[in-house]
Amino acid sequence: MAEYILLIHFCSLLADDCSKPQEHTIRFADYYSCMLTGYADGLQMIEENGPEVVNTLELTIGHECIKIESEISE
């Protein structure tokens, strides 16, 4: 059975630099749920940083959902 891991990237266009991707704490059962969470969390992070930080650093937040095969224990 496949699951998805959400990785979130913080980047500054001004500094031309990105932080190490952060792995979300939840494993997702499908790609759709993973993507929705990535967009929602990205919006929340932009809002938490506020316009001054976002504008000063030209901050962007990206995400990707990585498919993994999970082991089913019996």
Q: What is the 3-state secondary structure (H, E, C) of the chain?
A: CEEEEEEEEEEECCCCEECCCEEEEEEECCHHHHHHHHHHHHHHHHHHHHHHHHHHHCEEEEEEEEEEECCCCC
> What does the pLDDT look like over 1-36, one tens digit per residue?
789 999 999 999 999 999 999 999 999 999 999 999
Q: For residue 26, give its domain range.
A: 2-8+21-69
The answer to the question of residue 41 being in a domain is yes
The answer to the question of residue 59 being in a domain is yes
Decide: pTM greater than 0.85. Answer: no
The answer to the question of residue 15 being in a domain is no
